[in-house]
Chain A
Amino acid sequence: MELQDKLLSSYVAFENKVDINSDVHEIRSEAFKNFEALGFPTKKLEAWKYTSLKSVLKQDYSLFPNKDVAVELADVKQYFIHEIDSYKVVFIDGKYSSFLSQTTHDQYDVCLMSSALSSPKYKETIDKYFNKIAKQDNLTSLNTAFATEGAYINIPKNTVVKKPIQIINFTTGSETATMVQPRNLVVVGENAQVQIIERHQSLNSNPVLSNIVTEVFADKASNVDIYKIQNDEETASLVDNSYIEQKSNSVVSVHTFSFGGNITRNNLNFYQKGEHIDSILKGVTIIEGKQHVDHHTLVHHIEPNCESHQDYKGIYDERSTAVFNGKVIVEKEAQKTNAYQQNNNVLLSDKATINAKPQLEIFADDVKCSHGCTIGQLDDDALFYMQQRGIPEKQGKGLLMFAFANTVLESVKIPEVKQRITKLIANKLGVNIGFDL
């Protein structure tokens, strides 16, 4: 059976398991109808011109994995940023693992979407924020239709979250193929601060399809830092839909590190609803084999005096393909906007492909908007210089590539994350860079 039909026909079974009289279920049913009408995206859609989900959708995914699989901490410790103390919200095959998690309700809520959706205590927040900025497009609708579990983070105003929050989704591969659809909601109050690290990891090489939706609301003068680490098995596909709404004077940054996966699609959307907002979107992509990474960003400048900074670097080897589609919209009212977008790419192989589409749509005149996009190779002179001084070619190339990606790492605020990423990059490039950062 086609995945789409399977999803559609399983909805009845799904409805047996959830409270169908809740307000949330109304939203789900609406989204379900929407998905039913739209179906999965095809290459005919401009937004999916360069990314085909065809091969991914062919798998026979188990939609509601039932088996409880015990996961030992020792086996998965490496996937955590374990050097630091942190809150953890961990899911195994889409189900919450209390054993691996560390949540809190002290001062702020770092807990589960399922409890937030069912408990009256959270109803006000859910009513106000749930599915309010998520687009009504096909995959987001599909996620909304089946939304039950994920991380729920609510930080009241004037609160600084003491330690970073890690949201980790493991898939065990207990079924031949698994589809998971986590749904996260992050509400950050006025003047509050939070750091979030997100990761998806499959524990064996059975195919996985994750279709995740995260909504982030950053109130006035709040500060939100999100790190997405994508270093999965080559059989795991990920569609990450993130929607971020910012109010005046807030700063939100999202770093996306894509080092592995079958097909990885990042839909990152920023909506600026206030003045003096800063949105930061950064990414490093280093892939090889037949991997495919697609970054689709949108920054919507709605009000005046805001800024956005985008910086995406990519290194592609073997038969990998990459897409960068960055869109900046500046509305008529958004005067004095400063929007920067930078996308630099290095192809290491003739079989690798990069498709870039940096797009600007500007309706205001008093703005500074620029984008730059380059595709090139490592500097031969620089490489020669190093070889002259006794650094082997491979090492030299690694150093150059490391330097190339480094501008993105500079803005990583958690030292342990920076270190981890540095190591991942060094491993990826197959060199010992010989120094710690």
Chain B
Amino acid sequence: MSKYTEEQLEEELKTQEYKYGFYTDIESDTFPVGLNEDVVRAISKKKNEPEWMTEWRLEAFRVWEQMEEPEWANVHYEKPKFQDIAYYSAPKQKPKLNSLDEVDPELLDTFKRLGISIDEQKKLANVAVDIVMDSVSVATTFKKTLGEKGIIFMPISEAIQEHPELVKKYLGTVVPTSDNFYAALNSAVFSDGSFCYIPKGVKCPMELSTYFRINEGGTGQFERTLVVADKGSYVSYLEGCTAPMRDENQLHAAVVELIAMDDAEIKYSTVQNWYPGNKEGKGGVYNFVTKRGLCENNAKISWTQVETGSAVTWKYPSCILKGNNSVGEFYSIAVTNNFQQADTGTKMIHLGKNTKSTIISKGISAGKSQNSYRGLVQINSRAENARNFSQCDSLLMGNECGAHTFPYIETKNKSAQIEHEATTSKIGEDQLFYCNQRGIDTEKAIALIVNGFSKEVLNKLPMEFAVEAQKLLEISLEGSVG
């Protein structure tokens, strides 16, 4: 068998029928555009994945092929052409800059106003940083601390290699591959993401957000995140960044799965500030995300999100309250300006006894944008004593934008107590007048009022981000007051 030579191969290739109908050079860094089984196989091979992972992706791909793009969301956009996308490309090497002077001044200005430290600015703007810079050594210390506690925190592609048993056990258990169009697509082609496992009884000693911020690698187009909190553990996780992300990929379809076992608690915060398109509504990112968490007995999952970017957002972080006494929370601020469209909300599925959920959603629309809240509260017949409180407030600025609420409430148990409230209003002229009287100009006054309106949600963010997020709201709404 070892006599198989290159000449023989050449001969064989000449005579043999083209076996796969499609050819992918797995050595190359970018695959040709389009998606089919071979591309999925190639992605898997490129990542050196085990057989089961390849099969898992293929299964997802087959499901995806049968599915149709959802159209029920209250957003209008030109559909991405799925066969015109290259589904794998090696992380692009951004040009390294030598100093901050070379960075786009507009970007720097935003950094400054958000209050991001110079070192971090450099990191975010991809400026070469000195190896002894504080943050890097901090990161190393972090890694050590996490390691000591037995916390696994690494890219999911590494986790598939190093902890296949954990990934295999939990991947796709909360968001099945067949869940929806974008989740299936993500499952088939996801390039990377994060995996986090907190062992039994461990309280993660730091906000993983802090770690994340320093090690942020450039988020992929099809990101996959899996967070598993074992019994009695706690973790706080933050994804995204207040800094504007200038991403070339138009379509983003991420999947996030959270698993909180008995007595565990996961706090997941998102700040999303992707390119929203220009003032005429051209360009901008499509953000179609599936996020879901599963709560076992006495577990708690809390979603906090500040959504200011993206041209189109389609996102419903959900909690499945499977265990008794489990708690789900959702705090959201969605700001839309110019031509942005957001259709976001949550699902709280009450299955266990004495489950509780809280939904606080604040929508702010300005310019010509459309902002929708879409939520589901479902109480199953066995969910005794379920409790839900929902509040959706919308703030409208100008008469060319829209605010919409689509709450679904389904109750099958008599002991359930559900309250849902929604209000829509504008910034009161008397409030503005009061501020003006005291020497606060209109723009500042609006920022002040918006902050007050969003306070309940901002308070839920990890401390360092709360301040930045507050400023982010100001910047997002800039110029929206005539």
Contact = CB atoms under 8 A, between A and B. Distances in A.
A375 B425 contact: no
A354 B417 CA distance: 12
Given A356-B409, A370-B423, A376-B417, A332 B400 contact: yes
Interface in A336-357: 345, 347-357
A367 interface: yes
Contacts of B407: 356-359, 373
Interface residues of A, number: 35
Q: Is the interface of A mostly helix, strand, loop or mixed?
A: strand
B40 interface: no
B412 interface: yes
A363 interface: yes
Interface in B410-440: 410-426
The B contact surface, by secondary structure, is strand
Contacts of A349: 414
Contacts of A362: 394, 396, 402-404, 424
Given A359-B407, A365-B397, A367-B425, A373 B381 contact: no
A213 B394 CA distance: 35
A358 B420 contact: yes
B411 A364 contact: no
B405 interface: yes
B409 A372 contact: no
Nearest to A368: B425
B424 A358 contact: no
B409 A365 contact: no
B399 A357 contact: no
Contacts of B243: none
Nearest to B74: A361
A145 B455 CA distance: 55
A86 interface: no
Given A335-B399, A364-B399, A373-B407, A358 B414 contact: no
A355 B408 contact: yes
Nearest to B403: A362
A372 B421 contact: yes
Nearest to B415: A377
B399 A371 contact: no
Contact of A365 (B398, B416, B419, B421): B398
B23 interface: no
A388 to B, nearest CB: 23
Contact of A375 (B401, B402, B408, B416): B416
B406 interface: yes
A376 B423 contact: no
A177 B418 CA distance: 40
A46 interface: yes
Interface residues of B, number: 35
A15 interface: no
Interface in A383-406: none
Contacts of B406: 357, 359
B397 to A, nearest CB: 6
B52 interface: no
B399 A375 contact: no
Contacts of A363: 399, 401-402
Given A360-B403, A360-B404, A365 B396 contact: yes
A290 to B, nearest CB: 14
A365 B410 contact: no
Contacts of B424: 360, 362, 367-370
A365 B403 CA distance: 9
A249 B398 CA distance: 27
B20 interface: no
B72 interface: yes
Interface in B435-470: none
B404 A361 contact: yes
A366 interface: yes
B339 to A, nearest CB: 15
A357 B411 CA distance: 12
Interface in B166-201: none
A411 to B, nearest CB: 23
A367 B422 CA distance: 13
A104 interface: no
Nearest to A321: B412
Nearest to B388: A375
B405 A347 contact: no
Contact of B410 (A335, A351, A353): A353
A116 to B, nearest CB: 40
A364 B398 CA distance: 8
A376 B402 CA distance: 32
Contact of B412 (A350, A358, A361, A371): A350
A372 B403 CA distance: 17
Contact of A353 (B411, B419, B421): B411
Interface string A302-345: 00000000000000000000000000000010010000000001
Chain A CB within 10 Å, residue with most, of B397, B401, B410: B410
A35 to B, nearest CB: 24
A347 B413 contact: yes
A354 B398 contact: no
B344 to A, nearest CB: 15
Contact of A46 (B72, B401, B413): B72
Contacts of B381: 350-351
A66 interface: no
A351 B409 CA distance: 16
A374 interface: yes
Q: Which of B72, B424, B426 has the most CB of A within 10 A?
A: B424
Contacts of A366: 399, 426
B68 to A, nearest CB: 13
Interface string B373-384: 000000101000
A364 B365 CA distance: 11
Nearest to A46: B72
B432 to A, nearest CB: 13
A371 B421 contact: yes
Contacts of A360: 394, 403-405, 422, 424
Contact of A357 (B409, B412, B416, B421): B409
A350 B418 CA distance: 15
Contacts of A377: 414-415, 417
A350 B410 CA distance: 13
A350 B422 contact: no
A38 to B, nearest CB: 18
A363 B402 CA distance: 4
Among A360, A367, A371, A376, max chain B CB count under 10 A is at A360
A372 B389 CA distance: 11
B425 A371 contact: no
A96 to B, nearest CB: 43
A393 to B, nearest CB: 16
A26 B426 CA distance: 47
A133 B243 CA distance: 51
Contacts of A352: 412, 414
A357 B375 CA distance: 10
Contacts of B418: 373-376
Nearest to A355: B410
A345 B412 CA distance: 12
A348 B423 CA distance: 29
Contact of A364 (B396, B414, B417, B422): B396
Given A365-B398, A367-B425, A374-B420, A347 B408 contact: no
Contacts of B412: 350-353
Contacts of A367: 396, 424-426
Given A350-B414, A358-B407, A368-B425, 19 more contacts: A347-B413, A348-B414, A350-B412, A351-B412, A354-B410, A358-B422, A361-B402, A361-B404, A367-B396, A370-B421, A371-B421, A371-B422, A372-B422, A373-B407, A373-B421, A374-B418, A374-B420, A375-B379, A377-B417
Interface of A: 46, 332, 335, 345, 347-377
10 contacts: A347-B416, A353-B411, A354-B409, A360-B403, A361-B404, A365-B426, A373-B420, A374-B417, A374-B420, A375-B409
Would you list the 5 A-B pairs with minimal beta carbon distance, nearest first?
Answer: A365-B396, A347-B414, A375-B418, A373-B420, A356-B409
